[in-house]
Amino acid sequence: MKTIINPSKNEWSRLLKRPTQTVENIEDTVNEIFNDVQRIGDKAISKYTKLFDGVALENNEVTSKEIEEAISLVSTELKNAIHTAKSNIEKFHAAQKTQRITVQTTPGITCWQEKRPIQKIGLYIPGGTAPLFSTVLMLAIPAQLSGCKEIVLCSPPNSEGKIAKEILYTAQLCGVTKIIKVGGIQAIAGLTFGTKTIPQVYKIFGPGNQFVTVAKQLATKHGVAIDMPAGPSELLVVADNSAKANYVASDLLSQAEHGADSQVILISTSKQLLYAVEKEIQIQLSELPRKEMTKKAINNSKLIYVESNQIALDMINEYAPEHFIICTNNNDFYIKNIENAGSVFIGNYTPESAGDYASGTNHTLPTNGFSKVYSGVNLDSFTKSITFQKITKEGLLNIGQTIELMAESEGLQAHKNAVSLRLKDLKE
């Protein structure tokens, strides 16, 4: 990791740049695959599954037999852990339910808002170097709580043409209605256009690499919504002498091991802590099974010293981290004033990995600075709000003239007539 001491504000943008490719570098590939899937459907899906995953499949859909086999192969200990995580995630997301909101805006005029589930959703679950069955919990649980009718899960097959047993076990546990063995750009394209084996959906959820992120963005051009731009994982820690260097190092490494394009940053008002963390990272890194990949991410990462909490806060809000850990003598200052972050973890005993798995909050979060404008996945992500209104005779008499005057001023005579005709009848 590179250590930077007191960087000037005009250096922040360069220092905080993400190690991602530009869209232009990969958009051509994404467009080509989308065009193929739109044109020839499952033939294109098979072609790209063989090209990228190295396996030729006779059938994309996971069978009930495969699910039963997966259930039998998952250990009792892991099943219990998954059930514990499921319970906590359900509690937190169920608490987000809202009731119908009803207001009488004027005598005789009642307006209300109700939530309705999105009927068809697609869940993208990365496989690759780490099959993220935890993401199944994070997406399928709120989908089920919201009442979504079709929950289609796509995940890339391994070299044997199978999806990880843990993903299959968790998917059936959380009410997924169809599981498809397809990953990457072709999965997003399949969910966007629909094929004989992959249902078309209304909204796509789930993290992925930069190719998946661009594919999701392209899906929006074809009328399919997405949860958010969610690309390579990232973590920013702010810490001082009250933090434990080995804890901080472990948190940084826990995100760095996601992939070579992940990024982790430590900002501190203590040079002593920076150097202690740097030393501890090397000790812990040497023992990690994914150390070669983690090293690449560490090379993209930084240790930054600043002189005050206010400077640190300003830098953090500019970076807008996906995950934000606070371990300082003044945690309340950061809690109160943080404006841009996907999810916040407070104190020495709140590791980011708790949120990744089992504490209850959702781990599908905006990356690449998008926490400035996007929320992480929550119950509302799987619903839409519909407004209703009912106007009585009294209500129309109370508001009719207001509507007429506004419509006439905008030059929309038919809008005015729709009210005037009714008012005339009421006044006769």
Neighbours of 240 (CB within 10 A): 17
Cα angle, residue 206 at apex, residues 205 and 209 outer, rounded to 5°: 135
Exposed e or buried b per residue across 78-106, where buried means at least 16 C-beta atoms within 10 angstroms of its C-beta: eeeebeebbebbbebbeeeeeeeeeeeee
Strand-pair partners of 4? 304
DSSP label at 96?
Answer: T
93 is catalytic: no
The residue among 204, 176, 208, 224 whose CA lies nearest residue 38 is: 224
Specify the amino acid at residue 312: A
Annotated binding residues for substrate? 233, 255, 258, 323, 356, 410, 415
Q: Which of 93, 234, 257, 323 is catalytic?
A: 323
- The 383-391 sheet, strands edge to edge: 101-106, 109-117, 383-391
11 is catalytic: no
Annotated binding residues for Zn(2+)? 255, 258, 356, 415
Annotated binding residues for NAD(+)? 124, 186, 209
Annotated binding residues? 124, 186, 209, 233, 255, 258, 323, 356, 410, 415
d(CA 359, CA 85): 7
Q: Which of 234, 257, 322, 352 is catalytic?
A: 322
Name residues whose C-beta falls within 8 Å of residue 205's C-beta, 6 or more positions apart in sequence: 121, 122, 123, 124, 139, 143, 226, 227, 364, 377, 381
Alpha-carbon torsion 381, 384, 387, 388, what sign?
Answer: negative
Q: Which residues are catalytic?
A: 322-323
